[in-house]
A and B are shown apart, each in its own frame.
Chain A
Amino acid sequence: MNKVSIATEAPPKAKTSLFPRHRELILKGNYAAAEAAKLCRVGFVPAYPITPQTSIVERIAEMTAKGEMGATYINMDSEHSVFAAAMGAAIAGERVFTATAGQGLFYAHEVLHAIAHFRLPVVMCNVGRPSIPWNIWSDQSDSLSQRDTGWIQLYGESSQEVLDSLIQAYMLAERVHIPVMVVLDAFYQSHTSENTWVPDQDLVDEFLPPPAFQTGEATAANQHLAFGGLIPPEHYFKFNYSFWKAIQEVEEEAETVAEAFGKQFGRTYHNVEAINIGPQTKVVLVTMSSIATTARGVVQHHPEVGLLKLRLFRPFPSRAILDAFAQLSPDTRIACIERNFLGDREGGVMQEMRRALYGNPFPMRDFYAGLGGKDVPPSTIEKIIHLAKEGKEDVYWVDFE
């Protein structure tokens, strides 16, 4: 037996700072979300724990208990109550945050509609997991099945993107009066610790002014108003029309907010991200969240393969996609990667892509991969590229080995 030699590498050196007025921390996705809620000076957090989201609200509870975060934190009896409380606080004018996952989101379904159609700028985090068969691992079936509730949906790829998207989400929600759901993948994101640049509080305050309403101050809460009364047929459509007008502004508003964010923080985001998409491209992989990272690595080895990462999913960014695909040759294969199953032949990504690309000639392929936390390693992406090029079917389940 040998003792290991004692020599060590040089002691820690001063680190290069990528972004001024930021600190580099090693954060898991869930802690990045909690950090963002604090930076946005959220005033009210109703919560109910559920794996794999729990560590978000756990961290917020800890920060509020220690006085590091000036919010009121309430542990509710269920997700239905969580969102009801969020709705009430938002009506009163408070900046609200909460987080849930899987069954919790399904249970809140009814109230999600109410929050959106009351036009309340609530922001939440959903850490995706499926429902039945019982499973706690990564899957987007929960959030994609809520796509018709009226919430804006942003999907993040890294701890950094979750943190940054949440800051943008408040600005967006408060500009268009529509709630925003920021979605991250279970474990591959929620529990992955990685380099994250956390902006200083004053940098965030300059971008996102603290809410006018602060906990303890009297505003709407002191006025005696009733909300949510019965709307007869002759008025009902007017509210929907108004929402319809607003939702069509969101694609552009989201870009505007992202651009402002880029100027303030030095990190640029778009509704979609197009990598290596041009006349030479034979296959475009369409994906969201953590699978996008691995796909980025794989396409570096494939000059003929492009990648379209969807960041905004609701409203679906059709204009941005059409712009990104403007140069594609008509026989380019569009390969959608699905980490969801919505009870139909095609998955959620394919359904939406078909709608966006209606009238375009691109052959489309759908790939179910990584359901219920199944890992999507580089070899699976390679398999998808291979099938997109050579395969005859239009829908594949690539995890059968």
Chain B
Amino acid sequence: MLEIRGHARGGQGMVTAFEIMAKILSAFGDFRVQAFPAFGVERTGAPIQAFLRAGRKEILNRSNIYQPNLVVVFDEGLLGQVQVMDGLQPGGAVLINTDRSPADFSEYAFPVYTIPATRISLLHGLGSRSLPIVNAAMIGALARILHLDPQAMQEIIREYAPAKPAENAASAFQAFGMAARSEGGKETLRQLLWASPSSNGTEIPAFAAWEEKAPPEGVPDIPAWFKPLSVNKTGNWRVMTPVYADRTPPCNARCPAGTDVRGFVKLATQHKFQEAYETILAHNPFPGVCGRVCPHFCEQHCNRNALDGSVNIGAIERFLADQTRDNTPAPVPIAFAPRIAVIGAGPAGLTAALRLRQKGYAVKVFEALPQAGGMMRTGIPRFRLPDDVLDQEIQRILDQGVELELNRKVRLSELATSYSAVITAIGSHVGMELGIQGNAEAVKEGIGFLSQFKLKGQTAGVRKGDAVAVVGGGNTAIDVSRTLLRLGAIPTIYYRRTLQEMPAIAQEVEEARTEGVHLELLTAPVGVRETPERKIALTLIRMELGEPDASGRRKPAPIAGSEYVIEVDHLITAIGQRPDAYALSGSEFTIRQGLVGKDGELPVFCAGDMAWGGTVAEAIGSGNKAAEEVHAYFQEMPYSHEEHLPNVVLPKDINLNYYLPVARHASIVRHPKELYGDFTEVNQGLKSGAILSETARCLHCGDCFSCGNCFNYCPDAAIHVDEEGRLRIDYDYCKGCGICVNECPCSAIQVDIAELVR
């Protein structure tokens, strides 16, 4: 008869493994088997034992196994805590779950088998983050040691595994192939297993003469523990270790400018408005602008969307920018010799210039237009972004030492002598043309219309009462239409897909419709001509949505024979923009983010809309990166364009049940009865009271906010509050059960694998 004793921790699956092993042996031949556990306290992580007897004779012993032939150790950490080798018989062996090699166990007098069962089990997704279930891999190694058939083994595992049958069978099979054995030493496990039924079984060890012992003294009447419970340190039960982690929230991960959104919202919650504002400024010099015009990727991916709507981050950002403005630091001294020229005073150019100036470079920005701000100035109407907000944020940049020259359309060739590097950030200011038949001269272009109106007050001939067709579905189309409304015209937007596919910011579309902009959806222009009455006859065709295209949006297709004609006074297109590459003319650069090449000796970098993106936030992010790359270039430091994918907290990681539903505070929107001539700001943001209750809606994804759930749920009272009010885990008592990891509302506790691999 073969006697096997196993040592494991509650939860690792040893009892089940021994039961299944008994089933495998029974299926394999005429074996009598007996598998049973010796439970200690019934808790996850506590050291336990299990026993397996197998042989070809009836088993006439129901006691525990004290003199095993094979010792199986499921958790290497038990080697120092439990006398696993006690009573191991000559001819026996030991099997250990470890990443180490058998040679590392040369201190044992017995043959040692090793198997990296934890690694194999994690690979097959078995068990939880706090406790990998290693039993299938251990079965695989046992089957290998006993020379059992791996196919039969897998069949039995598939039949009896309590969960994940395929993964458990695969794990066992992989372990079957990975068991390793130490050099030398003899074991007789197989002989014991296969010994014929007629041969003698295990001899009963000789009974030593018994002397009568006195009964124990001093046993109390009631079982009681007279020492404080703190003496019973249970930390050594731990297989894996929970730690407070700082994981990236989706708002931070999704902000193209790189803003620490969760950070500034948290500071705002604590009324630390100045610190919150400076937290934004660390990545974004335009919080007043972004708080108003950004599509807020942070809000789009806010995990609170799954509960009751995202946090109104835009309103918080805008509030902070409007509250706190007069703390501009003085220019830093110039520390580096290279002089940097920046072409274009838009968000990308100004951000790059500010960052380099803050690092100690002399920077000058050249702007072709009479006013700085780029698309923020020319493309965004005043009713969305008042001039003073933009002026003050630009002034804040200039106050920190950035030089600016307006009305200066420079070319690279002019800069080579005075500058060491150039960042071109000229934006994307040329509207694309409508590729349709007919008289194209009557067609006006949207981005130019906005720019001409903002800079010069020109209305391109639009008069009160004119009917205007606007073609397109982006922010430009919306801004053009809303500007037209304020000029007294009657705009209609023609868009070839539906509302759902519209690239414009949903809130802006909603406001436009409320103001009276009419939308004609699923229609596209095919021809245009001027009528004898000096009107524009626009031929359109009805569209329908087909399969999704590369952007994931359903592709529109014309419905044959559905053409129709409308008559309007003006036609304005807003179907996309491209850069005016004057600055780079004569050079053969491929335009992309960062260093694009050299013009003679002059390194040329690109940033902003001309390289990628199309929103202010993306341009700011682009400017930050360009500045880093320029700095790295001159300091000869490595620079990589590779994005580091952070460990982002996803909706599935949040325990929404722990948050009370609180409706989102929507920003206050002004809707005057008469829009004509009214260019005051439509969106009024939120007042301070609403701001504070809105900041309190943050879920704190991946950041401990001291809710105390872990403290409440820890079954071993191993979590306490330190002197600074932070929750801390006492690893002397933490048994690694993982309850805190599961019950943390915001995924701020993670399991540390490092201790597992030890």
A residues with a Cβ closer than 8 A to B are 1-4, 7-13, 15-16, 24, 26, 28, 51, 133-134, 136, 187-189, 191-195, 290-291, 293-294, 296-298, 300-301, 375-380, 382-383, 386-387, 397, 400-401
Contacts and interface: CB of A to CB of B under 8 A. Distances in A.
Given A26-B23, A195-B26, A297-B204, A187 B38 contact: yes
B400 interface: no
Contact of A377 (B64, B180, B213): B64
B215 interface: yes
B19 A193 contact: yes
Contact of B145 (A4, A11, A136): A4
B62 A24 contact: no
Contact of B60 (A189, A194, A294): A294
B113 A1 contact: no
B62 A188 contact: yes
A1 B178 CA distance: 11
B207 A397 contact: no
B152 interface: yes
Given A187-B38, A192-B34, A13 B60 contact: no
A382 B204 contact: yes
A206 to B, nearest CB: 27
Nearest to B38: A187
B372 interface: no
Contacts of A24: 26
A385 to B, nearest CB: 8
A386 B19 CA distance: 36
Given A9-B148, A194-B22, A298-B204, A378 B61 contact: yes
A7 to B, nearest CB: 6
B148 A1 contact: no
B179 A193 contact: no
A211 B38 CA distance: 39
Contacts of A300: 60
Interface string B206-222: 01011001111000001
B561 interface: no
A386 B210 contact: yes
A7 B190 CA distance: 12
Contact of B39 (A187, A193, A291, A297): A187
B716 interface: no
Contacts of B103: 1
Closest 8 pairs (CB-CB, A-B):
A297-B60, A382-B207, A377-B63, A192-B36, A193-B35, A290-B62, A193-B19, A1-B101
Contacts of B222: 133
B62 A397 contact: no
Contact of A4 (B113, B183, B204, B205): B113
A138 to B, nearest CB: 10
Interface of B: 15, 18-19, 22-23, 26-30, 32-39, 42, 59-64, 66, 101-103, 113-114, 144-152, 179-183, 190, 194, 204-205, 207, 209-210, 213-216, 222-223
A4 B190 CA distance: 14
A291 B62 CA distance: 7
28 contacts: A1-B103, A1-B183, A2-B102, A4-B179, A4-B180, A7-B147, A8-B148, A9-B28, A12-B152, A189-B62, A191-B36, A192-B34, A193-B18, A193-B23, A193-B33, A193-B35, A194-B35, A194-B59, A294-B60, A297-B60, A376-B63, A377-B61, A377-B63, A377-B66, A379-B207, A383-B207, A386-B207, A387-B210
Given A1-B102, A386-B210, A375 B63 contact: yes
Nearest to B112: A1
A16 B30 contact: yes
B485 to A, nearest CB: 65
Contacts of A375: 63-64
Contacts of B194: 9
A204 B64 CA distance: 34
A365 to B, nearest CB: 13
Given A8-B149, A379-B207, A188 B60 contact: no
Nearest to A392: B212
A26 B36 contact: no
Given A8-B148, A383-B210, 11 more contacts: A2-B183, A7-B147, A9-B149, A12-B27, A15-B30, A192-B62, A193-B35, A195-B26, A195-B32, A293-B61, A382-B207
A87 B66 CA distance: 45
Contact of B205 (A11, A136, A376, A379): A379
Nearest to A390: B210
A3 B148 CA distance: 16
Query: Which of B23, B62, B146, B213 has the most A CB atoms < 10 Å from its CB?
Result: B62
A345 B63 CA distance: 27
A397 B37 contact: no
A2 B62 contact: no
A26 B180 contact: no
Contacts of A380: 63
Contacts of A28: 19, 36
B113 A301 contact: no
A380 B194 CA distance: 29
A193 B35 CA distance: 5
A197 to B, nearest CB: 12
Nearest to B16: A193
Contacts of B42: 51, 136
A1 B151 contact: no
Contacts of A377: 61, 63-64, 66
A1 B62 CA distance: 37
Contact of B181 (A2, A7, A188, A191): A2
Contacts of A301: 204
Contacts of B36: 28, 187-188, 191-193
B49 to A, nearest CB: 11
Contacts of A51: 42
B33 A378 contact: no
Contacts of A387: 210
Contacts of A3: 179-181
Contacts of B28: 9, 12
A392 B101 CA distance: 57
Query: Which of B26, B63, B64, B183 has the most A CB atoms < 10 Å from its CB?
Result: B63
B260 to A, nearest CB: 49
Nearest to A138: B62
Query: Which of B15, B103, B148, B207 has the most A CB atoms < 10 Å from its CB?
Result: B207
Contacts of B180: 1-4
Nearest to B151: A11
A380 B210 CA distance: 10
A189 B37 CA distance: 10
Given A26-B23, A293-B60, A11 B152 contact: yes
Contacts of A193: 18-19, 22-23, 33-36
A138 B64 CA distance: 13
Query: Which of A8, A298, A377 has the most B CB atoms < 10 Å from its CB?
Result: A8
A388 to B, nearest CB: 12
A1 B181 CA distance: 6
A386 B208 CA distance: 10
Nearest to A398: B210
